[in-house]
Amino acid sequence: MRSEQPRRPSWERPSLFTRVMAAVGLVFLHAPVWVIALYAFTTEDRTYQFPPPGLTLHWFDVAFARDDIWESMRLSLLVASAATLLAIILGTLAAFALARRTFTGKESITLLFVLPIALPGILTGLALLAGMRTIGLEPGFWTIVAGHATFCLVIVYNNVVARLRRIPPSWVEASMDLGARGHQTFRYVLLPQIATALLAGGMLAFALSFDEIIVTLFTAGHERTLPIWFYSELFRPRERPVTNVVAVVVILVTLVPILLAYYLTRPDEQSQGT
């Protein structure tokens, strides 16, 4: 479409430098991820030699036969599911409470809701650990979930609150005027509108939790989530190629929900509400 126009005026044309640097920046962001994918197939198992001397699928068999990896994978999936569920419930409640109302103290409450992702993760981790020790709580599955839910809640809240603000208040008023009760308005007017935002928030929360390491190392005790397994493997590698395979699997497990989340909230879908 743009090509039909004659020649764009100077302030609408990027300089060659801008164009090249933009492309370089994008490649820089993506290249390392492809590297991992390549190394999962290398036949070399001691060094990080590049280019790989040969390619093989052997390491996938080895990785899939390892019980410790499956065990960690199972734990991570369970933690992510529980944390996401909690985050969806708490985040949605908060979004409904805060989307439209104005009241004294709202600023402080919204600040509290972004704090867990605004402050460095190490602070959240250490704080939760200090809190657990004070009340004598043993670290384990539920402390991991509690830590994850705390920052996942923010993600869900942000997604849902943004969508709620785009729903015209007149829709709710119309629904009420036509005699719908509160729960009916919620079920037939609001829920269909926020469904995709809710799902997207849930997907992102799941991906975030599945991959979390900074907070988890403080709250996990003796439990080994997949990122913790991965982290310990970085320092005491038993078999490097297996680590590479797990890296690829982790990328795939997190990539699917993220792409889905993007698809669910992509711009033209968002504009339907307005």
Partner 1 sequence: MAGRAEFSLQGRQAFYFALLLAPPLLWLGIVYLGSLLTLLLQSFYAIDEFTARIVPEFTLATYRQLLTQPAHIDIIVRTLLMAVAVTLTAAVIAFPVALYMARYAGPRTKALFYVGVMLPMWTSYLVKVYAWRLILAKQGIASWGFEHLGLMAALDQALAVPVVGGPSLASSYIGMFIVFVYMWLPFMILPLAAALERVPASLLQASADLGARPAQTFRNVVLPLALPGLAAGSIFTFSLTLGDYIIPSVVGAPGYFIGMMVYQQQGTAGNLPLAAAFSVVPIVLIGLYLMLARRLGAFDAL
| Near partner 1 in 72-111, by CB under 8 A | 89-91, 93-94, 96-98, 101-104, 109
The answer to whether residue 165 forms part of the interface with partner 1 (CB under 8 A) is: no
Listed ranges 54-62, 161-169, 186-194, 258-266: which one lies at the site for partner 1 (CB under 8 A): 258-266
Ramachandran region, residue 105 (left: φ > 0; alpha: ψ -120 to 50; beta: rest): left
Listed ranges 21-29, 56-64, 74-82, 170-178: which one lies at the site for partner 1 (CB under 8 A): 21-29
The answer to whether residue 11 forms part of the interface with partner 1 (CB under 8 A) is: yes
Query: By rule CB under 8 A, what count of residues binds partner 1?
Result: 90
Write out the binding residues for partner 1, residues 31-70 only, by CB under 8 A. 32-33, 35-36, 39, 47-51
| Shortest Å, Cβ 65 to partner 1 | 21
Tokens of 224: 């080994």
Considering only 234, 236, 272, 274, the residue that binds partner 1 (CB under 8 A) is 234
| Shortest Å, Cβ 86 to partner 1 | 8
- Per-residue HEC secondary structure of the chain comes to CHHHCCCCCHHHCCCHHHHHHHHHHHHHHHHHHHHHHHHCCECCCCCCCCCCCCECCHHHHHHHCCHHHHHHHHHHHHHHHHHHHHHHHHHHHHHHHHCCCCCCCHHHHHHHHHHHHHCCHHHHHHHHHHHHHHCCCCCCHHHHHHHHHHHHHHHHHHHHHHHHHHCCHHHHHHHHHCCCCHHHHHHHHHHHHHHHHHHHHHHHHHHHHHHCCCCHHHHCCCCCCHHHHHHHHHHCCCCHHHHHHHHHHHHHHHHHHHHHHHHHCCHHHHHHHC
**How much is the CA Rg of the chain, to the nearest whole Å?**
23
- The smaller minimum CB distance to partner 1, of residues 29 and 57, is found at 29
- The smaller minimum CB distance to partner 1, of residues 131 and 168, is found at 131
The answer to whether residue 144 forms part of the interface with partner 1 (CB under 8 A) is: no
- The smaller minimum CB distance to partner 1, of residues 50 and 64, is found at 50
The answer to whether residue 126 forms part of the interface with partner 1 (CB under 8 A) is: yes
Considering only 243, 245, 260, 264, the residue that binds partner 1 (CB under 8 A) is 243
Considering only 211, 220, 260, 264, the residue that binds partner 1 (CB under 8 A) is 211
The answer to whether residue 133 forms part of the interface with partner 1 (CB under 8 A) is: yes
Considering only 77, 213, 223, 273, the residue that binds partner 1 (CB under 8 A) is 213
- Binding mask 173-192 vs partner 1 (x if CB under 8 A, - otherwise)? ---------x----------
The answer to whether residue 172 forms part of the interface with partner 1 (CB under 8 A) is: no
| Shortest Å, Cβ 263 to partner 1 | 10
CA distances for 240 relative to 62, 76, 138, 226, 270, angstroms: 11, 21, 33, 15, 44
